[in-house]
Structure 1
Amino acid sequence: MAAASAQPKIQSRDSIEDVWGPRTPYKDEWPTRVDKSCDEEPEKWVQSACVLCSNGCGLDIGVKDGKVVGVRGRATDRVNKGRLGPKGLNGWRAMHAKDRLTHPLIRKNGQLERASWDEAMDLIVAKSKDLQKHMTNHSIAFYTTGQLFLEEYYALAMVGKAGLHTLHMDGNTRLCTATAATAMRESFGSDGQPGSYGDIDYTECIFMVGHNMAATQTVLWSRILDRLAGPSPPKLIVVDPRRSESASKATLHLAPKVGTNLALLNGIQHLMFKNGWVDYEWAERHTVGLEDLKATVAEYDPQTVERITGISVEQLEEAARILGTSKSLLSTALQGVYQSNQATASACQINNINLLRGMIGKPGCGVLQMNGQPTAQNNREAGCDGEYPGFRNHQNPAHMAELAKLWNIEPAKVPHWNEPTHIMNLLNYIEADTIKMFWITCTNPLVSLPNLPRVRRLLTKPDLFVVCQDIYMTETAAIADVVLPAAQWGEKTGCFTNVDRTVHISHKAVDPPGECRPDLDIFLDYARRMGFKDKDGNDLMPWKTSEEVFEAWKKLSAGRPCDYSGLSYDRLTGGSGIQWPCNEQNPHGTERLYADGQFFTDVDHCESFGHDLETGAPYSREEYEHLNPRGRAILKACHYSPPMEEPDDEFPLRLSTGRNTYHFHTRTKTGRSAPLQKSCPEPEVRISEQDAAKAGVSDGEMVVVRSKRGAVEVKCRVGKMVSKGNVFMPFHFGYWDNKDGRATAANELTIDRWDPVSKQPMFKAGAVRIEMIPADRASGPYIPEPQTGALEEAAQKPDVSAMTNSEDQAKYERQMELFLGETYETTVQLLEIYGSLIPQLIHHDQEVEGGLRMLHKLADGMRARLEPHVQRLGENKQRGRHRAHVLREALFPHPDDESDSPSIAYQVLETLQGLAVYLSHIQSSLTALEPVALAMWDAEFSQAVQSAQQCVHRMTAWVKQQIKVRSPQTLLVPIIPAASKGRD
């Protein structure tokens, strides 16, 4: 399908050639400039905002004869003051592409065939209920986007969390913005940008880390260019391995090796401490973790940082001097941090730098952990990916009880036994055959996810039921079993929130084509057909309009950091967007968070208790209380570790993927706008002159880029933009408009590793090589595209109307009973260990003998609590001998065996150590059963497991104390070994 081809007849400027527009130099307040692009003069203008990057520029949609004919920037809007970028001025043209999906499709006889809405929805509901009956709700998963409206996200969150009570919900915001959210939770206690776009107007220094703003947020970059052209321009430090457009304007450009951000940022903090560029008075009053951070970064002296990153001592010292002495500081970050090695740890160090200077919550001072998509913030707020609605903490029972009350459902049915399932684990569960239905909304994982060969194999599995809800036939929709045609921006009403918390309303301008429905209507229809009810028997989601959903959301957000209670459709209509929190205390919105030095870190208010940045393990409430932040920000420290896949002789180059100025995501929209597609019609790989010479390739030549996972065939661009040892590819290109049959998707190459905390994939990691294409090759593509093979796999699937599990249920066996039986048997064995085995191994140790009576009583109580549930739920013993027996024999010798212990005291210590290991085994078994019981919504089973955990905890505490008391005397004081006594 060719892109819509007409060129705009009315335009304020050619935004393709003049991306950022003419300069309007300023100081203090950014001047207005209205950009406009239309085919003809509209009959009316309808208020909206741009959805083609995360900036959230206010715009008006021009309509004539029921058709969108153009756009103009909103002069009154605080975000853009009337300006629009090339995507904003040209992206609307995709609305007129002729390959729009206009009616539902169902796969029959291997092909997607037209169906009615009733047929499609009845099939989805029948499949859902069949899976509920035979494989539980946890066999159904959702994967959404960063482009829906707030109201649609909230409805989807309720479908998953309140209707199906499942954790299996994630979005493609996982790919671009998960680290931003995580880093703010770690440092500030909650998601939500501390800073404001207005800080650009006043700051003396801008620190951009892994953020090529010139390409990703062109209007915001215009604001910076205008500051740089005006009086008193700010210093600009850019951290980017490439010499990007942003880097070309920098006061100081730091180009570290890919994957070494953390070492660089630690080195900057090292120099800040060394040179006294820390506001100790502010930091000691408003932060915790100062001494731990200082001790950690002490190891990152300039020489060490130069060895790791390639940044010279002189450059590092200059960067630290500028950051440490500027009177105000605005820091930003994006994918160069989030998609790279140690993402969350690195993003937290950016927060640290501002916190160490006390530069947060003040004009010109703040942090913008940027988003990559226009409505990613709403996805996080509403709880459709890794969060819970209203930034609530799943480890806080009061937060979960509050959700249950607001939704009027039983508290046990709020899914809170783990963090929501991230996309990489969703894929793992698909591979393990425990997810059987995958509902994909407004995103294209067959282009956007890493390691595409694996993703393609999993999403075309014969027994996976795939629902795809979108506006065009994407690569993913083409392999789906049911395709639902959705209304898009301009064809529905709703709100969305940009990076700096500005909430915009987008009013419906035109009717959607054919039978397309708004995503909100689709989710509400599903909920109605599924019969989702609250605990009083009323419809769980009774709404009819988006405004009704918005009013419900306001109640849920009230009192939380993202408080919308002071907003309304009326207030958002007619003027500018408004920043949350907006409530009685802040009726006009809030430009900056933390102006009073108070953060969202109180234990009863925070969104998260934080994580170990190296392992990713979450901290408990008890660990968080020990940290005792009490409204103070948390300085998080972490040591640098090298990336998992480094270049070697076989794959000598570091791969980095990223965005292009003219395209968004997988080009679903921008690829169908002629001006945008023409400006960037195909992918290219950028390589340095040195590496090109070594590979024997030249500028403009077609080459193969190969990794351990796959290969692509693209044009090579040689130049100074990329430093030696690195290559760069845009990730936008897939196969929906592929004409020459070549493999072109960058994610054929990427590694499916992810950050341990945010679970964001490391797209800026992995190693590749560049290969010449043989001159004598046959005609046609050298590396053929793989999408055709995926379509052939999908065509082999059975008719989806027959894809039920009823007749195949005998093939499936729940494994919970097996694990429960194993756990129960450990308690039976524990009673025998206490009752007879240890007394035979340890003679006349009065303290142990006395303790065993108490331990036996606890173990018997634990067994008694678990036994009714074993009898009720069943115990699968098909595996024969229990692991409990094997472990017991390994840890405790038979009483008749001759001991090789040098003394009785040593034998007692060994026995206690074995008992500690055995109890640890039981504890880990109960740890596994705890979320299982919660996921079964079985309150009695859950209480029994928790009671058993308390028993094990008490037993373990006794054993550890015995080991601590006995070990010094037993191990330090020399003795004559028992085996040697009497020989002399």
Structure 2
Amino acid sequence: MASTRDSITDIWGPRTPQCGEHWPSRVDQNLAEDPDRWVQACCFLCSNGCGLDIGVKDDKPGGRIVGVRGCETDVVNRGRLGPKGLHSWVANADPGRLTRPLIRRGGRLEPASWDEAMELLVGRIRTAKQRHTAGSIAFYSSGQLFAEENYTLSVIGKAGVGTLHMDGNTRLCTATAGAALKETFGADGQPGTYEDVDVTDCFLLVGHDMAATATVLWARVLDRRRAAVPSGMVVIDPRRTATAAEADIHIQPRLGTNVAVLNGLIRQLIAGGYADRAFLEAHTLGFDELARTVATYTPERVAEIACIPADQIRRAADLIGGSRMLLTTCLQGVYQSNQGTAAAVQVNNVNLVLGRIGRPGCGILQMNGQPTAQNNRESGTGGDLPGFRNFGNPRHLEEVARLWNVDPDTLPNWGPPTHALQIFRYAETGSIRVLWIVGTNPAVSIPDLGRLRAILRKQGLFVIVQDAFMTETAEMADVVLPAAIWGEKTGCSTNVNRVVHLNRKAIDPPGEARPDLDIFLDFARRMDFRDKDGAPLIKWHDAEGAFNAWRECTRGRPCDYSGLSYAKLSQGSGVPWPVNEQHPQGSTRYYTDLKFATDPDYCESYGHDLVTGAAITAREYKARQPAGRALLRPVEYVPPQEEPDEHYPFFLTTGRVVYHFHTRTKTGRSKALRDAAPDAYIQVNEDDARRLGIKQGDMLRVTSRRGAADAPARVGDIEPGTLFMPFHYGYWDEPGRARAANELTLYDWDPVSKQPHFKYAAVKLAKVECSPLPQPDESKRESAADAGAGKGEADAARTHLADYIGLLHASEERLARGWEKLRTSHPDAPDIGAQSALFMSWSRENAVAVQAYAGKYGERLEGEPEALDQALLIQRRATAFGLLRDLQDLWLMANESTISTTVLIQGARALGDRGLEQDLLGVEGRNERQRAWLLTRIRQAAPQTLAVPPAGA
């Protein structure tokens, strides 16, 4: 085999110390045979996105891949490749590839034609939409899809099917990156670049084992550290990884305490006089509030919370503050842990407090987990509007509607996009009837796997899986569609550095497998999706046509591709967006003008409460007048929701190993990678192992409140009381025992990003003294295709819209009676009579408007109105105090109506009933005016009533 190095043992390759501002090239290669031709592509097995060429032998129809080499001229890697990139190409020829569609018949998956499979799924989706609305259909896709496929699926899901239930597995690894960038800078897009590595004098890595997760980027960091004047480095990680071993200062906090540690670091930077006051005044908002919040996080307090030496915070602040530059990165140790978005935002705050952004060596890389995670977020298949547009901005919704030539009212905008765990929760409760899973394996990657398996097996849920291999998830599907993978199709991918690469098709897919784009186009044709002029909704027929449509969608947005083309992307390197008239060659560095994407009419999000996740309104956001300034968002530390106790005394965290990707669907098919990391393991602290009598290699069982798994012990390099398991390992290769780390993890999510909490779970640990736990059986599933309508269909016609119509109607009738009671109880209050009469007429008008829809949807009462009557039964005296209490009762009743109206408006939008929506908006407007008057009147009455006693009291 022609290989430039053994990347299994020499993971990062020889050092090529950085000299000047340009990283030297080094071409890595791994070939089984000499190829007949080379085909342009990039690596697909981490978020680095390294440019490479695929070596193809044309000695068989369609060709075969015989190896890869790094692209010497590519800006991302200068020819380097890591172990996964050099070895995983063998998966394309693996005999386990799916080559024909499969349909479940009689409980078994059996071969079928493409027509059979597509007509079955089209029929199920049409029926679900007709019977249960588009809200019964969901898509769960992958960060492995090209930009063209992501965008096509986004148009199909939003404008064709019309569902809000669309997310990708990037929710598991990268959602917090996008959320944190929106909260601070107004929009997604990295305010840092790999080129900053070459010149910075200081690195801060938070929860990011770069040596294992982005090997080529780590090689770049090592080369910078080996330069004549090396950069400093601080690493925050509870494990002593290869990354941490390289650091000048390694802080090992207790799991879930990132916010406390970062607050302490920011406090020390301010106290040490390192804050750039001129920058903060000119380019940020919120510094005073941030300073007040972090003021109490002294090194001693942080030491107590995070179980670290107090002096580490001081030393880290002095190293960072005393440098001239700072490149900060973070990954899953932040994103998947307690207060993920809040912690990631504090990472942003570190750079902003120092004014280190937008210039060489200064920036933030909120890292991704997959090479096209950025495309997932950009295109809208991660749930948002495409082009980093704002779901809360009506103008942005209209822009998308114009691009797709559809009526804005047909796009699903009745609520926030549904994130992955909520999609599965809806499937669990039965309101999602069809779930289409594309290129991902949630039966290993989603938390609390026992619960997830029960969801996928649920009778009445029709599951479609589109994949290249028979994964644990595909085993439970009703229809399996064989998909082409990397090397077998054409399309673009965008890495965390905003660099867009073109991947050319090198070989044909095996058997009847098809590119994902072709499957989506076939689906759209069979569904006959149309725009408002009657033309086909999807107007492209190949990858380049899809790219051109996507390019136009991004014009004028932060992720501007408008100056890109397949021709431009074929010139020897990827190109970083934005690429447009102002930046025809792309943009190496972002935000160099220090004008951030926070303008209210441009921003991607108005932000959230970082603790609760409650959305900030457009009005509140605009009132801050951000005007292109970054937003410093402080937050208090909140402990994890689950912590060790006497029954579960250990903290478990999960993560990656250098040789595998996701659930090993591809890397596990490479002998070299499989032999290097054949099995899961449980990492244990030396003292804990000694106390429990555990030796290296002993089989251990770790148990949480949700499940258990068995794996051999690995002793050392981790904090006491903490365990680590890699999450890659599932069951498709039949280990014969329960070993998936996600048997143990929490089914919970960050309040802002909705990214699951994989990084902490309370567990207990024991040696396996007898037989290991049996391997779960994914295949036991009664087919929804066979079972017909399935469980739960008997009451399918009953929606809860009728319950809320009944509740709102009763609320408004009682509110009208409440206004009458107020008028008669306080006849001498000058303003009460006339206002009560007016508001009573409004409430009666509201009741009539709502009652009109009872005939269409029904009207059911379930006991709540009786609770409203209690307020009306209290007869108070006509005193100042009696008036105040009666006003308060009416305020509470008006709020009941407001909540019911809000719920019904969202339901009307989901159903597409514009008449009901408009009438409810009228109800809402009248109700809001009632509430505003009541609150004003309560505030006016309260001081005199409470502070001054009446005569004779």
Shorter-chain TM-score: which interval? over 0.9
Q: Does 1:49 align with 2:10?
A: no
Q: 1:462 is matched by which residue type in structure 2? A: Q
Alignment partner, residue 5 of structure 1: none
Task: Please report the RMSD computed on the Cα atoms of aligned residues, expressed in angstroms.
Answer: 1.5
Deviation for aligned residue 1:894: 4.6
1:852-867 alignment, distance < 5 Å: 852-867=836-851
Q: How many residues align?
A: 948
Q: Distance between the aligned counterparts of 2:941 and 2:304, measured in 1?
A: 47
Return 695-704 or 521-530, whichever deviates more. 695-704
Match of 2:460 among 441, 460, 463: 463
Match of 1:797 among 765, 775, 783: 783
Q: 1:731 is matched by which residue type in structure 2? A: F
Match of 1:883 among 864, 871, 876: 864
Q: Distance between the aligned counterparts of 2:161 and 2:209, measured in 1?
A: 40
Deviation for aligned residue 1:131: 0.8
Q: Distance between the aligned counterparts of 2:912 and 2:783, measured in 1?
A: 34
Deviation for aligned residue 1:867: 4.0
Q: 2:749 is matched by which residue type in structure 1? A: W
Counterpart contact for 2:805–2:850, Cα < 8 Å: no
Q: Does 1:968 align with 2:951?
A: no
Q: 1:860 is matched by which residue type in structure 2? A: R
Return 474-483 or 313-322, whichever deviates more. 313-322
Match of 2:261 among 232, 252, 264: 264
Q: Does 1:764 align with 2:759?
A: yes
Counterpart contact for 2:435–2:463, Cα < 8 Å: yes
Alignment partner, residue 982 of structure 1: none
Change (3 A) 1:576 1:977: farther
Match of 1:86 among 70, 73, 83: 83
Alignment partner, residue 201 of structure 1: 198
Match of 1:822 among 789, 807, 812: 807
Q: SS of the residue aligned with 1:222?
A: helix
1:590-633, Cα deviation, whole Å (9 max, x unpaired): 11111111000000000000000010001110010112111110
Q: 2:934 is matched by which residue type in structure 1? A: V
Q: Distance between the aligned counterparts of 1:646 and 1:203, measured in 2?
A: 38
1:361-380 alignment, distance < 5 Å: 361-380=358-377
Match of 1:920 among 889, 895, 901: 895
Q: Distance between the aligned counterparts of 2:524 and 2:937, measured in 1?
A: 57
Q: Does 1:335 align with 2:332?
A: yes
Alignment partner, residue 448 of structure 2: 451
Counterpart contact for 1:134–1:805, Cα < 8 Å: no
Counterpart contact for 2:460–2:789, Cα < 8 Å: no
Counterpart contact for 2:106–2:786, Cα < 8 Å: no
Deviation for aligned residue 1:49: 0.2
Return 128-137 or 756-765, whichever deviates more. 128-137
Q: Does 1:503 align with 2:500?
A: yes
Counterpart contact for 2:460–2:792, Cα < 8 Å: no
Deviation for aligned residue 1:579: 0.3
Alignment partner, residue 851 of structure 1: 835
Counterpart contact for 2:682–2:711, Cα < 8 Å: yes
Deviation for aligned residue 1:388: 1.2
Alignment partner, residue 104 of structure 1: 101
Q: Distance between the aligned counterparts of 2:635 and 2:849, measured in 1?
A: 42
Q: Does 1:559 align with 2:560?
A: no
Counterpart contact for 1:123–1:801, Cα < 8 Å: no
Q: Distance between the aligned counterparts of 1:977 and 1:569, measured in 2?
A: 88
Query: Unmatched 5+ residue regions in structure 2?
Result: none
Counterpart contact for 2:101–2:481, Cα < 8 Å: yes
Counterpart contact for 1:658–1:731, Cα < 8 Å: yes
Q: Does 1:544 align with 2:541?
A: yes
Q: Does 1:728 align with 2:724?
A: yes
Alignment partner, residue 33 of structure 1: 26
Change (3 A) 1:551 1:762: same
Q: 1:876 is matched by which residue type in structure 2? A: E
Q: SS of the residue aligned with 1:616?
A: coil
Alignment partner, residue 812 of structure 1: 797
Deviation for aligned residue 1:204: 0.7
Change (3 A) 1:977 1:378: farther
Q: Does 1:24 align with 2:16?
A: yes
Deviation for aligned residue 1:869: 3.5
Change (3 A) 1:306 1:802: closer
Counterpart contact for 1:887–1:918, Cα < 8 Å: no
Deviation for aligned residue 1:811: 5.0
1:600-615 alignment, distance < 5 Å: 600-615=597-612
Q: SS of the residue aligned with 2:221?
A: helix
1:821-845, Cα deviation, whole Å (9 max, x unpaired): 211221122222223x223433422
Counterpart contact for 2:808–2:850, Cα < 8 Å: no
Alignment partner, residue 11 of structure 1: 3
Percent identity reads: 48
Q: 2:5 is matched by which residue type in structure 1? A: R
1:358-757 alignment, distance < 5 Å: 358-719=355-716, 721-739=717-735, 741-757=736-752
Counterpart contact for 2:680–2:712, Cα < 8 Å: yes
1:130-158, Cα deviation, whole Å (9 max, x unpaired): 11111111101010111110000001111
Return 383-392 or 755-764, whichever deviates more. 383-392
Counterpart contact for 2:80–2:216, Cα < 8 Å: yes
1:307-350, Cα deviation, whole Å (9 max, x unpaired): 11122221100111122221111000000000000000000011
Q: Distance between the aligned counterparts of 2:422 and 2:880, measured in 1?
A: 48
**TM-score normalised by structure 1 residue count:** 0.95
Q: SS of the residue aligned with 1:738?
A: coil
Return 925-934 or 227-236, whichever deviates more. 925-934
Q: 1:169 is matched by which residue type in structure 2? A: M
Match of 2:319 among 322, 335, 339: 322
Counterpart contact for 1:138–1:435, Cα < 8 Å: yes
Q: Distance between the aligned counterparts of 1:971 and 1:86, measured in 2?
A: 73
Q: Distance between the aligned counterparts of 2:362 and 2:577, measured in 1?
A: 18
Alignment partner, residue 3 of structure 1: none
Q: Distance between the aligned counterparts of 1:87 and 1:807, measured in 2?
A: 45
Q: SS of the residue aligned with 1:106?
A: strand
Match of 1:874 among 838, 857, 861: 857
Change (3 A) 1:210 1:806: closer
Q: Distance between the aligned counterparts of 1:116 and 1:563, measured in 2?
A: 40
Q: Distance between the aligned counterparts of 2:581 and 2:386, measured in 1?
A: 21
Match of 1:938 among 904, 907, 913: 913
Deviation for aligned residue 1:859: 2.2
Q: SS of the residue aligned with 1:892?
A: helix
Deviation for aligned residue 1:689: 1.2
Q: 2:815 is matched by which residue type in structure 1? A: L
Q: 1:26 is matched by which residue type in structure 2? A: Q
Return 541-550 or 79-88, whichever deviates more. 541-550
Q: Distance between the aligned counterparts of 1:874 and 1:89, measured in 2?
A: 60
1:832-851 alignment, distance < 5 Å: 832-835=817-820, 837-851=821-835
1:237-262, Cα deviation, whole Å (9 max, x unpaired): 11100000001010111111111000
Q: Distance between the aligned counterparts of 2:647 and 2:942, measured in 1?
A: 52
Q: SS of the residue aligned with 2:662?
A: coil
Q: Distance between the aligned counterparts of 2:163 and 2:481, measured in 1?
A: 22
Q: Distance between the aligned counterparts of 1:138 and 1:977, measured in 2?
A: 63
Q: Distance between the aligned counterparts of 2:259 and 2:791, measured in 1?
A: 52
Q: 1:828 is matched by which residue type in structure 2? A: E
Q: Distance between the aligned counterparts of 2:952 and 2:485, measured in 1?
A: 82
